[in-house]
Amino acid sequence: MLLNLLDCRRLLLQGASLGVVALAGLMPIAAQAQDAANPSVAADSAAEPDERPSAAEIIVTGSRINTSGFTAPTPTTVIGSEQIAANAQPNIFTTISQLPSLQGSSGTQVNTFSTSSGAQGLSSFSLRGVGTIRTLTLLDGQRVVGANVTGVPDISLFPQLLTQRVDVVNGGASASYGSDAVGGVVNFVTDTRFKGIKGNIQGGITNYGDDEQAVAQLAFGTAFAEDRLRVIGNVEYSHEGGVGGGEWGIGLANGRDWFKQTTLINRGVLNDGSPQFLLRDFAQSTTFTKYGLITAGPLQGIAFDAAGNPFQFQYGSNGVPDKNAAGTITGCFPGFCLGGDLTGNVDAGRSLKSRIDRYNGYGRIGFEFTPGSEVYATFNYGRVKTQNQPVNGQNRPGLTIQCSNPYLPASIATACTNAGITSFRFGTSNASLGNTQVHTDREQVRAVIGAKGAAEIGGTEWTYDTYYEHGVNNTRIDVDNILLSNRFNNAMDAVLDNGVIVCRNPVARANGCVPLNIFGDKASEAARNYIMPEAGPYQRTRQTQDVASINFSGSPVELWAGPLSVAFGGEWRREHYRVTADPYGAGFANTPAGGDYPADPLLIPGGNNWYAGNYKNGNGTYTVKEAYLEVDVPILNSDSTGKLNVNAAGRVTDYSTSGTVWAWKVGGTWELPVDGLRVRGVMSRDVRAPNLSELFAAPVTTTLPNFFDPFTNSNVLAIQNTPSATRR
């Protein structure tokens, strides 16, 4: 059965819905006080029960109030370890992202078309569809260093087997947790008191024989000194083989017949009562083909096969469409035809899913110096290696070919003479050059020291939690098999010189230019090596994060309807990054040429010389200082009126880059005297400060092959991504 793109989307959404149904416990509930010493699932039979109270008895993600019986006004979904284990996914992200509120989160299937994002293999949440940079993700209530310069952490590096539960706060929480909590908060709570050993080994493969998956996980925990000294650990390895994008023609995506070269077509008609834009299957470009197409003039429609022989290109399924005197193709849409021989097809060769190898480890040691009070240290290490293919070939429409080109078949040279032309317009996918490969290697190290517990001060028991975190993330991006645009332009412009084929430009010849046969699959190895040197584009990014935080919570006053609960605290945070790139992409002034990147007068000193992946140098730092106060006031508490509490919080934040910002929330919960009926509401002002990429990153020019802009009816060959365009 053939499925179009919309059918596929519907089935995928149905599958996501079924996944949520399978997680029977995933329904929104109020975040209530929970006993951290009572995990939702036990370890295997080797694990020992633990009756000793934990250092932090109560954890409420939806609020900073840690008081028994407190109910937060912000709706919260709690996912226990039973549901996580039952879903049996190699990446805990896949399980959690099945929640309706997390639809639109970014997993391993995204960014496979990109050379520049560095987000391949990165799993990050987007609550309520507001974006990953507007969703705050925490590990045990603590911030985690970002996995790229947007500041978004990689969920797949969290300790999966030691995750006791995941709290998803569906609503703004900036007043309680600070910047980025616009859509809400996702907090992973680990089982810090786990004793025993448990493991998991699983594997699988699709019925298409690809995306093979293997997972090996091991967690352990033990205690010493009468259970006061506790050590837990978690190690994991996972492999995902990925899904290739297939080859040219109809047989795409490893036999997935629903991937049918669908594209968005602009009809160009605005007032006939029909949609202006249409999704159409089996679309192919009219501006290039696999091995070359003459796109304008009297020879328009002549294409070349792998051997370089000319043939009449079939634009559409009904044969060769008519052309008017201006060379406009009729019977097709601007830039595309439907059907035909599909040698100029859309999206062929793009990876549907990246290949991923993931390694991570987690360790924690804690010592209870008094009952309920603990000092601890944690350590995380993770590494993710990915490989993806953003496109088949390297599309180059709009080229000008001279009729004197010695590689041109004699029949076409004669046709040029007969037509009275000396050149023609030409487009090619450069299939003979092979496919671009993007390799991303991301390594992360994170360490935390902290203390938490309870102490009685002035007759009131106060809980406290303080920690210092230092995290480092190093990302390496290398792009293989990609051309230098100016070298390509000079290599394809070949001439005969005393019977020898050479590059036309004498400056190019003097600097090692090797002529390129652009017709068919006949490029020489020397020409390939010249236009696509072994040392390709690269980017090296180092990010660091330092956080110091302290929080207090207690109930110092007894009111008419119950205790007045208060939470307050402060946080200091420093974010820094530095990125370096190759000289051909970044420019010789920033990274002097030499070594693997020798100086070349054909190249632009300012950079942007690669077909794609023109990375830039950059660096930046900002600091954040903030303080908050949250109160919960009981208003009613009787059998006749029920229980009514009003919750309010405020946070003042000073950013080194933008000054002072205020965030606040006001809400309440009313448990009516009718069993099972609760009324809840909250209003908040939430903030997100610009991240490092938005504040300090240099512009990146990235070529997006065959990206059609339906508003201009044209192929967009490069998009300038500037920080100012994303500061919102």
Which whole number is the average pLDDT over 502-521? 96
Per the confidence metrics, is the pTM higher than 0.85?
no
What local confidence, expressed as pLDDT, does residue 27 receive? 35
Query: What would the mean pLDDT of 498-525 be, rounded to a whole number?
Result: 95
Query: Can you tell me the mean pLDDT for 152-168?
Result: 92
Q: Which residue has the higher pLDDT, 552 or 30?
A: 552
Asked if the model's pLDDT at residue 350 lies above 80, the reply is no
The C-alpha angle with vertex 353 and arms to 350 and 358, in degrees rounded to 5, equals 135
**517 vs 308: CA distance, rounded Å:** 9
Dump pLDDT digits (tens) for 236-295.
999 999 887 666 554 444 556 555 666 777 777 778 888 888 777 777 778 888 899 998
- E-assigned strands of 182-228? 184-190, 196-204, 213-224
pLDDT for 510 beyond 90: yes
Which pLDDT value is given to residue 214? 94
- DSSP state letter for 58: B
In which band, very low, low, confident or very high, does the pLDDT at 21 lie, cut at 50, 70 and 90?
very low
What is the reported pLDDT for 117?
Answer: 60
Of the pLDDT bands very low, low, confident and very high (cuts 50, 70, 90), residue 191 is very high
Residue with tokens 């010849």: 509
Task: Report CA-CA distances (Å) from 131 to 99, 102, 139, 150, 728.
Answer: 15, 10, 19, 11, 11
Lowest mean pLDDT among 102-106, 187-191, 484-488, 613-617: 102-106
Note the pLDDT of residue 1.
Answer: 33
Report the side by side order of strands in the sheet with 135-139: 28-32, 71-80, 163-170, 184-190, 135-139
Do strands 373-388 and 437-457 pair parallel, antiparallel, or not at all (unpaired)?
antiparallel
8 A C-beta contact, residue 142 and residue 469: yes
Q: Give the pLDDT band of residue 353 (cuts 50, 70, 90).
A: confident
pLDDT of residue 100: 87
Distances (CA, A) of 256 to 55, 75, 208, 210: 53, 40, 8, 11
The domain locations on the chain are 260-346+395-428
Cβ contact 438:477 at 8 Å: yes
- Give the pLDDT score at 259: 57
Residues 635-650 have a mean pLDDT of 93
**HSE-CB for 67 with a 13 A CA cutoff:** 25
Bridge partners of 562, per DSSP, are: 559
Backbone angles phi, psi at 62, to 5 degrees: -70, -5
Whether pLDDT at 641 is above 70? yes
Q: Please tell me the number of Cα atoms within 13 Å of 290 on its side-chain side.
A: 23
pLDDT bin (cut points 50, 70, 90) of residue 90 is confident
Q: What is the pLDDT of residue 230?
A: 97
pLDDT for residue 71: 66
152-178 burial, b at 16+ Cβ within 10 Å, e below that, comes to: bbbbbbbbbbbbbbbbbbbbbbbbbbb
**Residue 264 carries which side chain, given as an amino acid letter?**
L
Is 50 exceeded by the pLDDT of residue 399? yes
Tokens matching residue 459: 């007759």
At 542, the amino acid letter reads R
DSSP element (H, E) containing 573: strand 562-581
Mean pLDDT is lowest, of 139-143, 681-685, 709-713, for 709-713
- The amino acid at residue 608 is N
Whether residue 219 contacts residue 192, with contact meaning beta carbons closer than 8 Å, is answered with no
Question: Which is more confidently placed, 54 or 570?
Answer: 570
Q: Work out the mean pLDDT of the chain and round it to a whole number.
A: 81
Residue 49 pLDDT > 50, yes or no?
no
Segment 669-706, tens digit of pLDDT: 999 998 889 898 999 998 888 888 888 876 554 444 44
Please say if the pLDDT value at position 462 is more than 50. Answer: yes
**For the chain, what percent of residues have pLDDT higher than 70?**
78
Quote the pLDDT of residue 391: 72
Contact by Cβ (8 Å): 210, 243 = yes
What is the per-residue pLDDT for 340? 67
